[in-house]
Chains A and B, each alone.
Chain A
Amino acid sequence: MEIKKPAVAGTMESSDCMVTIRPGQTGIQIDLQSDVEMMFGASILATTRQTLEELGVEDAEVTILDRGALDCVIRARVQCAACRAAETHYDWEKEGACHG
């Protein structure tokens, strides 16, 4: 997935995060700002990298302003921002069924 333009997803409300993705040239660069960075920073970064990898994003500058978002919210916001930045729709065909 090629990042073509800057795009944003999410909000600064509690339990949410605002993810901004811009075109990049040197792999995935992530700037994280979070009140819970000490405890969950590594986990947020890992989720973000994994999500972008699954989408096939190779080069991007990512900014995450986190307000205590759950892992699933971060994943959804990164997916949404990446699709918006790549000017494409999310490919639901590759998702399986939830069995929660």
Chain B
Amino acid sequence: MAERQIHLKRTGLYASGCNPVNMIQAVFYNEDMLIYDLEDSVPAEEKDAARLLVYQMLKEHRPKDKYVVIRINSLYSEYFEEDLQAAVRANPDALRIPKVEYAHEIQTISRRMAEIEEKVGLEVGKMEIICNIESYMGVLNAREIAESDDRVVALTVSAEDLTASMKAQRTKKGLEVFYARNAVLLACRAAGIDAIDVVFSDINDEEGLREDTALAKNLGFDGKTVVHPRQIDVVNSYFTPSRKEINYALRVLDAVEKGKQAGKGAVTLDGGMIDKPIELRARTTLAQAEAAGIKLDGMVI
């Protein structure tokens, strides 16, 4: 199993794979995840062109300070096989898989990725997977999907297709996806992976974006996909840890370190056990703080 690093996922911005200027400009914004898209933003007659563009772009101009993701077309689409061949060779940090409904789909994709990784000399299993949950069946199976494969590092909820599958109306308040957001979030927490929230589609409603992002943060999400660069800084600000959260994270890591030095197998803090996911979340909190420019040196626990 490949060693997993912590990667911030406060914001994910799509860059259409059929638009060079879109891909070039997206590097200069503050999103944590840059998602090169081969799916919805690419018309059917441009799928071949998009694969080549994304591959060549990453070959020569891979962003150094982003978590690089490629969204491919779904397992059952006619574009899947060629997308996978191109995307794995492009060697992003992760593939984003749309319309995931069952754990076995991810296991199939992971095996196919491994075959290509082996063939081209990449470390097998290092490339990660983010699953888009876009249907009621995906929500019902979220826990199995989250735990389906070691590559899976996050689930994300996509509200438009989801509400269509539920026969629900999409509203700005989003009550129709409230259960799905929570179900996916809990699945992620059970698996110890990141949870990424739905997009807020109205790019002209900053107040609405703030309300929705505050709710996502309070529910426990790690980040949100954005639909426009102007949403990035707002969303990043909500997913930047507070002083209280940073302090707790520092205390967790301090307790872990002291436990290691004392040769203890189990470490506790405030009467509670610190297990691996808690330690990982503490490290993520500090990584988020540092990414936001907060200086941790000299902070007193």
Contacts and interface: CB of A to CB of B under 8 A. Distances in A.
A90 to B, nearest CB: 6
A83 B48 contact: yes
B21 A100 contact: no
A19 B299 CA distance: 57
Interface residues of A, number: 28
B56 A96 contact: no
Contact of B19 (A9, A13, A77): A13
Chain B residues touching A, majority SS: helix
B257 interface: no
B102 to A, nearest CB: 27
A9 to B, nearest CB: 5
Interface in A59-80: 69-73, 75-77, 79-80
B59 interface: yes
Contacts of A75: 56
Interface string A89-100: 110110111111
Contacts of A84: 48
Contacts of B57: 72-73, 76
A80 B58 CA distance: 17
Contact of A15 (B21, B62, B90): B21
Interface of B: 19-21, 24, 48-49, 51-53, 55-62, 82, 85-86, 88-91, 117, 120-122
